[in-house]
Structure 1
Amino acid sequence: MKKKLLLLVVFGLFQISTIYAQEMTVTGTVTDDSGVPLPGVNVVVKGTSNGVQTDFDGNYSIEAGKGQVLVFSFVGLQTAELPVTDDPVVDVTLAPDATELEAVVVTAFGIQREKNNLPYAAQQISGEDVNETRVGNVASGLSGKISGLQITQGNAVGGSVNVVIRGASSLTGNNQALFVVDGVPLDNSNTNSASQQTGGGGYDYGNAAADINPDDIESINVLKGAAASALYGSRAANGVVMITTKKASRGLNISINSAVIVGQIDKSTFVEYQQEYGAGRSDPQDRDGFLYFDVNGDGGNDLVVPTFAPRSWGPRYDPNLMVYHWDAFDPSSPNYLQSRPWVAPENGPETFYETSVSTNNSIIIDGMVGEEGSVKFGYTRNDERGTLPNSRVLKDIFNLHTSYNITNTLTASAMVNYSQIEGRGRAATGYDGGRNINSVFRHFNQTNVDIQRQKDAYFRTGRNITWNWSDPTRPEGLRPAFYNNTYWTVYENYQDDTRNRVFGNASLVYNPTNWLEFLARISVDQYDESQQERRAVGSSGIPSYSRFDRNYNETNYDLLATAERDLTEDLALNALAGINLRRNTISSVSSSTTGGLVIPNLYAISNSLGTIPAPIETFRPRAVNGYFGGLTLTYKDYLTLDGTLRRDVSSTLPSNDNAYNYYALSGSWLFSHHLADFEWLSSGKFRANYATVGNDAPWGSLQDIYSKPDPFGETLLFSLPDTKNNAALKPETTISKEVGLEMAFFKNRFGFDASYYHTNTVDQIMPVAVSSATGYTSRFLNAGEIENKGIELSFYGAPIRNTEFSWNVNVNFTRNRNKVLSLYENSSNLQLASFQGGVSLNASVGRPYGELQGATYETIEGQRLINDNGLYAITNTTSNVIGNVNPDWIGGIHNSFRYKNLSLSFLVDVKKGGDVFSLDMLYGSMAGLLPRTAGTNDLGNPVRDAVEDGGGRILPGVTADGTPNTQRVTITSNNSAFEPQSEFVYDASYVKLRELSLSFSFPESLVPSNVQDLELSVIGRNLWIIHKNVPYADPEENLSSGNVQGYQSGSLPTTRTLGLNLNIKL
């Protein structure tokens, strides 16, 4: 594969032509009718391949001969042609083009349509706006910029991004949007573990859309509703993110980008320890806090930290107390057999994190090959080292685009994208023992541990010397009781992974007439990935090694015919018909050692100390044949009626009933056509549509497939799956209704796009719990209905626009409400995930999808009930609704300012509402780590002091007879979690300064003559969480992408980044 790619690259570069030598240099400035300079205007010498683009200030310079004609073109403006005379300066003003004022958008199968006649919701954004701050994952660059699109991104280096359009429509299936690049549908799965998908621990390996090169994007168009995406079939039921990549332009063009970005953790999103008390459990096993025995040999008992106690309910810090810490029992330590004052450490857990450093370098070379061909080659390297020590994700991406006009009616084109991603030391997420470093810091720890001393111990010895000795009084007890040294974890128990991916297409376009076009295309998306996880000899727990290899392959064959013709002077026709054949195969193999490792530091399955288990192998083929057509009628350019129909035949449905249909009917009325006398109204359009989209079954859900475990002796064994399959499944169906209003004012300086939508997904294919007497735990059935309805609003404006200063603003707002209307048979609740800590994620009939359930307070007339022991009365059941993960609304405000050569832009990202359960806060309270477990009471005394000494707390509430509580209780480790789970559910609202960019475009006088544009930018991401309610964490932080949201365990701190980016165009 790499050799083929290299040959394509060499061939492409060889074909790029040089610019023809001309007689004179013509310069000038291009402006619009308001006098504002226009960057990016194409300036071409007519009849030649010689062309350039204007720079940021609208200036251009081109070689041309007297008598030749310069052609100036720009989307939405009239094309101008001016002859070259003896005057070397040619300034041009481009007027608005009434026929193109509404812009062109890319729809299904890459078909371009005028936005003014588009009868469904679609929102477009430029590649520059997406990649303004040099994002590593293209999905991250969409946050807050598209209405209806909810982006949730974690803080792990190379981590996954959740991309959901108009809410969750599937109870247990995939709710992610489909990504399509130049007609190639891309897999965007996240291969996280089954445990992680239901709230457990694992590594976040990122989502596959991270393989898309942000530097290669020309524009992104988001198709939001079923009517917009119906032509793509069942996989587009959740909406489509259509990506159009950059193509070659005339002349030889070279663009170079280089960025260096550094980052540090946002301490407001990391745990804060109380600074008053150290290690201890404050219970009968550890009554006095310290251990007592003779360390220095003087015959007296010395004070020793209880290293086996992973809590901080111990003695109050006192610099007059000399105490023996964990490193006093390490013979290699400079502090061996030495005591030190009992004080809070100088280096808390926040010092564990390093400064992240990322470099992003890219080059794009494009040009014409003669008069009929073009080539574009691009290469990007993104090297990201995270704040977690020993974490790194290295990404190399190559792009090649070629096209050639074989004849006047036949054009061939090809695109190939090759990427290689190598990850090491990715962050573990969720409740995962010692692998997730942040669980160690946030859950059960000792506030007296100095991180620098842990670091010194590891790098001094290379051994797992940690603070939690199982018994420091005996030599055999000098081993981890439960947690490894954190540096041992990241340098010895790390994971690594690789993914090699190729996607692309080859197509032929035939235009026998000026109104008819035929397209034949084959597209491929193929990748191999490998994930390795290890636990070194000397770690807490059994040493191990595991490996997971996966291959994904999808091929699409498309035949498409489109016709565009005026039937009469007033009536225009657009028609299309096509076939799509999709073939998928997914195969994987995984295995792991048992019983430990024979040879330390040798990570191979064959190094298993125990019997090597049989590998787990899967092979999942899928075939879908799609037949589709569409018809659009436009009357006098203001009335549009659009209909589409698709029929799919799927291999995952019963052979006697494996076809399903979906259709869309849409209409729009450009009412501004009748209001031409209102000069302030540039355009106004009303649209409405109705659509149904089908969805087939998961692979392997029709017939039971036996598993083959290890044999018993020489006897082969086979076992049934846990889920009973169902040969009578029928397709899911999503029914969507939408109305919208678009208006623009004052020559398109201001405008908005508003939508209301209502969708229902019925006959959902889901595993339903059955009696264990059947031999199964669940069975696939068609059951359940979920409803989504909401509004979307996008506003844009240019309040100020003149020759020296301009201000542009874009505002996006989304409000979605969903409800589970029914489940299977008489069931009223479906548990989606069960979290550590006694909280679950659920779908309940009549309630929103994604509610949190758990224990809460018993109350009397709204007042919390206090038991006879002075503690809260807590419900006996955990089925109480204690939260809802869905936001009330989301939005974004993007402002951009330009003053002469200086530009400033920033994005404020907003989420209002939605809840998150924090296991970190629950366990951090139980462990006595957090400030809420210390401090003083209403008497001014330490709350941890005994009640008889004036300590303790009076919990607010009432007793059984309704009188206010007056009983004071001691706060200890045994009752530190006197609150139920509902106390640790927080409002996940936030207001973030998501992006910031300050750019300076160097004037022509300061750059070499062969440089078209030179721009230096200061860029930043996640610089400021302006508002949040979740303590010590980022409200957006989650396990990974997928349906399991609203849960934080071992949360990673947010990384604030700031960097420099240099862009050069030659």
Structure 2
Amino acid sequence: MKKRALLFFTMLMVSVTLTYAQQRQITGKVTGADGSPIPFATVQIKGTTSGTTSDQQGNFKLSVTGANPVLVIRSVGYATIDYTVGASSAFTVQLKEEDKNLQEVVVTALGITRKKNELAYSAQTVQAEELNRTRDPNVVNSLSGKVSGLEVRRNSTMGGSTNIVLRGNKSFQNSNQALFVIDGVPVDNSVANTPDQTTGRGGFDYGNAASDINADDVASVSVLKGAAAAALYGSRAANGVIMITTKKGRSGMNVTVNTGLTVGTMDKSTFPKYQKQYGAGYYDVEDNTYQSPDGHFWYADIDGDGTRDLAVPMKEDASFGAKFDPNLMVFNYQSLDPRSPYYKKARPWVAGEHDPSYFYKNTLTTNNSVAVDGGNDKGNFKLGYTKTVENGMIPNARLVKDMLNFGASYKLTDRLTASANVNMSKIDGKGRYGTGYDEYNVNQAFRQWWQMNIDMKDQKDDYFRDKLNKSWNLTSPTNPVPTYTDNFYFMRYENFEQDGRIRYFGNVTLNYQINSWLSVLGRTSMDTYNQWQEERNAVGSKNPSSYSRYDGSFIENNYDLLLNVDKQLSTDFKLTGLVGGNIRRTHAKYIRASTNGGLVVPHLYSLSNSVNPLTAPEEADSLMQVNGLFASATIGYKNMLFLDLAGRRDESSTLPANNNSYYYPAASLGFTFSEVVKAKWLNYGKARINYAEVGNSAPAQALYDPYDKPTGFGSTPIFSVPATKRNPDLKPERTKSFETGVELALFDNIVTLDLTYYASKSVDQILRLPISRATGYDQMFINAGTIRNRGVEVSLGVTPVRIKNFSWTVNANWSLNRSKVLDLPEGLDFIQLGALQSNVTIGHAAGQAYGVIRGKDFIYDKATGQRVVEDQEGQAVLPGYYKTTATANEVIGNYTPKWIGGVTNTVRYKGLALSFLIDIKKGGDTYSLDQAYGQSTGIYEESVRLNDQGKNIRDDVAQGGGIIFEGVTSDGKPNTQRVRVSGTRGLGVNGYPNKEFIYDAGYVKLREVSLTYSLPGSLVNSLKAFKGIDISLLGRNLWIIHKNVPYADPEENLAAGNIQGYQSGVYPTYRNFGFNVRFRF
């Protein structure tokens, strides 16, 4: 099979290059009526798929055959023309302005191309130039702020996952990620992180599978937002569709080389500001915690001279200890290490010279690609290769991506065209960052549990001296082993993870043109990958040595047959439609195994190196098939009224055999009223309305109860049922959606506007409902619950200035979504997705917006609304401290934003183009465990602030220190009682409920900046070998203009998924500065 496929692709490539003899090269320039150049115009040889695009100055080169070839030249906002070349080899073509909405095309469901003015639903397209200006290695991140209704949440972890949601979340517990389709191939975008990682308990973020897409190969991205736009995908269309079209071959032989380098530096506003006045300890004067005379230090004979010495309380992971004094000599962890130059030596009691920021380094990313393409009147091909190497922000972190893509199309006969696309990606990761509340996340210490006397350079030197675990966090002078934390350099160089993924996706298509208005298309496509993950814990670590391995594979095959109709029925009526079928087969499996009891041989990471017999591995193997039949028809009347009807019937193997068929209808109506209403200021106007129903299929293996086989009891095998009871009567989730909108082009196309209102209701939610354990299960699959989403989307384009050689355009996107959980199963008031540190839970509550955060709240005075401070002895809290709710079941926040938006400005002057994007999110909450714990351990500068009397709040109350909690007492009078601040009282979780650490996660960011200069055509021509040279300076995440979360990027979360609005050990954001040079030969 592989040999046949290779032969087929080879024949395609050879065929399209055989007719290059007798070709001639022409050069042209595309301008507007005023003579200003039109960049990126499409120039195509009529009757073929071959062509090229003009550069920034409107120039192009093309190889043609024949005496009088005809070129089809088009650009958005201009009328398409046919231009006969004749004998001349150099010429200029002028295009007349025309409403772009009559010419713009959109790639819609199943890869069908439609004119935008014919669509009666919302669809937005982002072209390659706008998408890839700053060459972000993850193409998904590049959509942020560029599409109304699209929420993109990214993380700062190397290669980390991105959450991408259209028009709000529609499923309680299943995926809310949009479906990705590349050149007609649906591709998997799942996240292979462990359950612990996605629920905040630690692990590594291995990223989305969509990050395998080669950004340099993307020609455009069409976003199908609503149910009507995505209805032909049926049971997988509830979350919208991201349609990616890759670049195709152009006429002649073309070579494009991109070479780029990006350097990242830490955004200091997203990293803690530490206090440098106090060191290790939880010191409470009243508690007399430590043994030294002053009550601040351990008191033991460290240097062996028979007298007791002052020693740092190394076991503690807080900084409420003694005030720093350079004249005070103290023994630290190094004095217990015989290999250290400070063995049995005391050192001055001072703050560490190198705080945790020393651990971080500048990132360096190289991104290089080469593409070769060509074509003639028979066909075209494109072959590309991209290599990206990312060196992370912390030691021993590296991610390498190799991506290869090939596409070709060839006219076998005048009626039959064959095409193929093959993409391969290979990703190798080493040292991904630990996340969540976990010791392998360095920020758990740096943001929550830290001693300000630790010098990170000392920690680095300690490790590299003999590659052993020299932790600062020792249990005692007589038991110098790590208590909570390993040496971080030891952890990064010895306990690192490794992973890899090899992926192939592509399709083979045959299209037969039966006659001028009827064609049939057959397509087979495949998306498959194999991935592995290794995690290790070296001998000498705080935890027992271990090794675990995960191996997973995924394959999806799609088989499509479509009959396409495009017929002008009469002068007034036109019919466009299709009838087809799809068979989708998916097979996913994985196995995860770990050593048991430690490793026999140090540094040998293999399952066979386990001290004890392996425990039973975790295995899963799931298959599913969906058979679909679909049809759509669009009747157009006088190019102004369009009625679209569509429907799909899916039959799924994950549903009961007697009830596995479901129908998904859609109806849309569009009216181009500018054909009737004639006004000078109105260039184009269209109103649209639609209704559709789509689904979210049941997960595999949700119908019938399987059995687990854990480790046996001696020689006796054991079988058990899983925690979740299956349900043979499941139905797919169903989303019913209504949408209406208007599109306008005004004042000679200076202003364009797309305004949309939508409302959707998602019913029959597939839930894991908690049930009595007397049944032998913890939960059961059921259909119940309803989510409603309502929203408004606005896309605005303005061209304030457009004159010869100069233009300024502004594109703005804004959207508002209001979600609400209308109902839950009877007897259930909360669906818990994650139980996190500090008694915080995230889930869904009836009557609330999607994604609530629950925890403890303040008690509020009913008369004034102020917080109540306890004023009685013998209560749950001491007098002078806040009273809080008895349970942690209060709704204290919601992570859904109020609205999102983005504004892109682009200024062009001759060959120079400047573009920048402002990305905005308003509202949405996040809980910061970093603030809750970091404030309580006294590491932040707020813990040494001055109080209302000008005294350090850590000073004793009798000396004017301490704080007064703002609020009222039980009698409604202002609180006046001053309380002391220590390592166990007053700050962080020791003084406040969870509500205090809920922050508005909104932001305003300068997301992208690019400055590109295209060398003048005269200069490029003089270099002979080149067709064009573009030099770019670029920047990403350059400035957080506004935020509310202290010391962190509000965009940071655990990973992609439904658990959002929670920060624990987050990584700083990096500002990325780079350059790129593109050579076209």
Q: Quickly name the TM-score band, shorter chain normalised.
A: over 0.9
- Would the aligned equivalents of 1:493 and 1:536 in 2 still touch at CA under 8 Å? yes
**1:347-376 deviation digits (Å, cap 9, x = unpaired):** 1101101111101011111112x6412211
Question: Secondary structure in 2 aligned to 1:968?
Answer: coil
Q: Which moved more, 1:732-741 or 1:197-206?
A: 197-206
- Would the aligned equivalents of 1:887 and 1:912 in 2 still touch at CA under 8 Å? yes
- Would the aligned equivalents of 2:509 and 2:522 in 1 still touch at CA under 8 Å? yes
Task: State the shift of 1:64 in Å.
Answer: 7.9
Judged with a 3 Å threshold, the aligned counterparts in structure 2 of structure 1 residues 365 and 842 are, in CA distance, closer, same or farther, namely same
Which amino acid in 2 is paired with 1:522? T
Judged with a 3 Å threshold, the aligned counterparts in structure 2 of structure 1 residues 730 and 47 are, in CA distance, closer, same or farther, namely closer
Judged with a 3 Å threshold, the aligned counterparts in structure 2 of structure 1 residues 70 and 553 are, in CA distance, closer, same or farther, namely closer
Q: Is 1:343–2:343 an aligned residue pair?
A: no
Q: Is 1:923–2:962 an aligned residue pair?
A: no
Q: Which moved more, 1:1041-1050 or 1:56-65?
A: 56-65
- Of 453, 457, 461, which residue of structure 2 is paired with 1:456? 461
Q: Is 1:622–2:629 an aligned residue pair?
A: no
- Following the alignment from structure 2 to structure 1, what is the Cα–Cα distance between the partners of residues 234 and 743? 27
Judged with a 3 Å threshold, the aligned counterparts in structure 2 of structure 1 residues 23 and 630 are, in CA distance, closer, same or farther, namely closer
List aligned pairs for 1:224-239, cutoff 5 A.
224-239=225-240
| Residue in 1 that maps onto 2:538 | 536
Q: Which moved more, 1:711-720 or 1:812-821?
A: 711-720
Which amino acid in 2 is paired with 1:407? T
**1:304-363 deviation digits (Å, cap 9, x = unpaired):** 111111111101111221222222222222222332222212111011011111010111
Task: State the shift of 1:682 in Å.
Answer: 1.3
- Following the alignment from structure 1 to structure 2, what is the Cα–Cα distance between the partners of residues 1061 and 383? 15
Question: Secondary structure in 2 aligned to 1:925?
Answer: helix
Judged with a 3 Å threshold, the aligned counterparts in structure 2 of structure 1 residues 490 and 64 are, in CA distance, closer, same or farther, namely closer
- Would the aligned equivalents of 2:235 and 2:695 in 1 still touch at CA under 8 Å? yes
Judged with a 3 Å threshold, the aligned counterparts in structure 2 of structure 1 residues 1036 and 990 are, in CA distance, closer, same or farther, namely same
List aligned pairs for 1:732-747, cutoff 5 A.
732-747=733-748
Task: State the shift of 1:296 in Å.
Answer: 4.1
Question: Secondary structure in 2 aligned to 1:596?
Answer: strand
Q: Is 1:944–2:951 an aligned residue pair?
A: no
List aligned pairs for 1:448-487, cutoff 5 A.
448-471=453-476, 473-474=477-478, 477-487=479-489
| Residue in 2 that maps onto 1:872 | 882
Q: Is 1:982–2:983 an aligned residue pair?
A: no
- Would the aligned equivalents of 1:548 and 1:589 in 2 still touch at CA under 8 Å? yes
- Of 904, 916, 940, which residue of structure 2 is paired with 1:894? 904
Task: State the shift of 1:13 in Å.
Answer: 5.9
Task: State the shift of 1:679 in Å.
Answer: 2.5
| Residue in 1 that maps onto 2:409 | 403
- Would the aligned equivalents of 2:881 and 2:965 in 1 still touch at CA under 8 Å? yes
Structure 1: tracts of 5 or more residues without a match: none
Task: State the shift of 1:33 in Å.
Answer: 2.1
Structure 2: tracts of 5 or more residues without a match: 872-878
Q: Is 1:601–2:603 an aligned residue pair?
A: yes
**1:657-683 deviation digits (Å, cap 9, x = unpaired):** 11111100100100000123x122111
| Residue in 2 that maps onto 1:994 | 1007
Judged with a 3 Å threshold, the aligned counterparts in structure 2 of structure 1 residues 5 and 1014 are, in CA distance, closer, same or farther, namely farther
- Following the alignment from structure 2 to structure 1, what is the Cα–Cα distance between the partners of residues 8 and 462? 52
Q: Which moved more, 1:137-146 or 1:88-97?
A: 88-97
Q: Matched residue pairs, number?
A: 1059
- Following the alignment from structure 1 to structure 2, what is the Cα–Cα distance between the partners of residues 25 and 624? 50
- Following the alignment from structure 1 to structure 2, what is the Cα–Cα distance between the partners of residues 719 and 943? 57
- Would the aligned equivalents of 1:865 and 1:872 in 2 still touch at CA under 8 Å? yes
Which amino acid in 1 is paired with 2:468? R
Question: Secondary structure in 1 aligned to 2:216?
Answer: helix
Judged with a 3 Å threshold, the aligned counterparts in structure 2 of structure 1 residues 232 and 49 are, in CA distance, closer, same or farther, namely closer
Q: Which moved more, 1:739-748 or 1:323-332?
A: 323-332
- Would the aligned equivalents of 1:934 and 1:944 in 2 still touch at CA under 8 Å? yes
| Residue in 2 that maps onto 1:581 | 583
Which amino acid in 2 is paired with 1:107? T
List aligned pairs for 1:436-835, cutoff 5 A.
436-471=441-476, 473-474=477-478, 477-676=479-678, 678-835=679-836
- Following the alignment from structure 1 to structure 2, what is the Cα–Cα distance between the partners of residues 719 and 273? 51
TM value normalised by structure 1: 0.96
Task: State the shift of 1:932 in Å.
Answer: 2.0
- Following the alignment from structure 1 to structure 2, what is the Cα–Cα distance between the partners of residues 482 and 655? 53
**1:759-784 deviation digits (Å, cap 9, x = unpaired):** 00111111101111111111111110
Q: Which moved more, 1:1000-1009 or 1:286-295?
A: 286-295
- Of 307, 320, 325, which residue of structure 1 is paired with 2:327? 320
- Following the alignment from structure 2 to structure 1, what is the Cα–Cα distance between the partners of residues 635 and 53? 37
Task: State the shift of 1:52 in Å.
Answer: 5.3
- Following the alignment from structure 1 to structure 2, what is the Cα–Cα distance between the partners of residues 12 and 422? 31
| Residue in 1 that maps onto 2:79 | 77
- Following the alignment from structure 1 to structure 2, what is the Cα–Cα distance between the partners of residues 627 and 65? 43
Judged with a 3 Å threshold, the aligned counterparts in structure 2 of structure 1 residues 900 and 696 are, in CA distance, closer, same or farther, namely closer
Task: State the shift of 1:44 in Å.
Answer: 6.6
Which amino acid in 1 is paired with 2:810? V
| Residue in 2 that maps onto 1:966 | 976
Which amino acid in 2 is paired with 1:410? L
Q: Is 1:1036–2:1041 an aligned residue pair?
A: no
Which amino acid in 1 is paired with 2:567? R
Task: State the shift of 1:569 in Å.
Answer: 1.6
**1:862-883 deviation digits (Å, cap 9, x = unpaired):** 1211113211111111111111
Task: State the shift of 1:575 in Å.
Answer: 2.1
Which amino acid in 2 is paired with 1:888? K
Task: State the shift of 1:71 in Å.
Answer: 2.7
Which amino acid in 1 is paired with 2:290? D
Question: Secondary structure in 1 aligned to 2:611?
Answer: coil
- Following the alignment from structure 1 to structure 2, what is the Cα–Cα distance between the partners of residues 63 and 647? 47
**1:627-684 deviation digits (Å, cap 9, x = unpaired):** 11111111111111101111111111111111111100100100000123x1221110
| Residue in 1 that maps onto 2:876 | none
Which amino acid in 2 is paired with 1:943? I
- Following the alignment from structure 1 to structure 2, what is the Cα–Cα distance between the partners of residues 836 and 57? 57
Question: Secondary structure in 2 aligned to 1:924?
Answer: helix
Task: State the shift of 1:613 in Å.
Answer: 1.5
Question: Secondary structure in 1 aligned to 2:590?
Answer: strand
- Following the alignment from structure 2 to structure 1, what is the Cα–Cα distance between the partners of residues 138 and 781? 35
TM value normalised by structure 2: 0.95
Which amino acid in 2 is paired with 1:833? G
- Following the alignment from structure 2 to structure 1, what is the Cα–Cα distance between the partners of residues 570 and 974? 83
Indicate the percent of aligned positions where both proteins have the same amino acid: 47
- Would the aligned equivalents of 1:55 and 1:1012 in 2 still touch at CA under 8 Å? no
Question: Secondary structure in 2 aligned to 1:933?
Answer: helix
| Residue in 1 that maps onto 2:269 | 268
Question: Secondary structure in 1 aligned to 2:289?
Answer: helix
- Would the aligned equivalents of 1:417 and 1:502 in 2 still touch at CA under 8 Å? yes
**1:911-953 deviation digits (Å, cap 9, x = unpaired):** 0000000011111012111122222222222211211222111
**1:272-331 deviation digits (Å, cap 9, x = unpaired):** 211111101114433722122343455544321111111111011112212222222222
Judged with a 3 Å threshold, the aligned counterparts in structure 2 of structure 1 residues 18 and 1056 are, in CA distance, closer, same or farther, namely farther
Task: State the shift of 1:46 in Å.
Answer: 7.6
- Following the alignment from structure 2 to structure 1, what is the Cα–Cα distance between the partners of residues 682 and 918? 29
**1:205-246 deviation digits (Å, cap 9, x = unpaired):** 000000111111111100000000010111111000000111
List aligned pairs for 1:23-42, cutoff 5 A.
27-42=27-42
RMSD of aligned alpha carbons:
2.1
Which amino acid in 2 is paired with 1:918? S
| Residue in 2 that maps onto 1:360 | 367
- Following the alignment from structure 2 to structure 1, what is the Cα–Cα distance between the partners of residues 785 and 691? 21
- Following the alignment from structure 2 to structure 1, what is the Cα–Cα distance between the partners of residues 882 and 102? 65
**1:38-62 deviation digits (Å, cap 9, x = unpaired):** 2234557889999654321112456
- Following the alignment from structure 1 to structure 2, what is the Cα–Cα distance between the partners of residues 752 and 360? 36
**1:977-1024 deviation digits (Å, cap 9, x = unpaired):** 201110011000100111110111111333312211101111111111
Judged with a 3 Å threshold, the aligned counterparts in structure 2 of structure 1 residues 97 and 875 are, in CA distance, closer, same or farther, namely closer
Judged with a 3 Å threshold, the aligned counterparts in structure 2 of structure 1 residues 879 and 52 are, in CA distance, closer, same or farther, namely closer
Q: Which moved more, 1:856-865 or 1:883-892?
A: 856-865
Q: Which moved more, 1:727-736 or 1:156-165?
A: 727-736
Judged with a 3 Å threshold, the aligned counterparts in structure 2 of structure 1 residues 947 and 1014 are, in CA distance, closer, same or farther, namely same
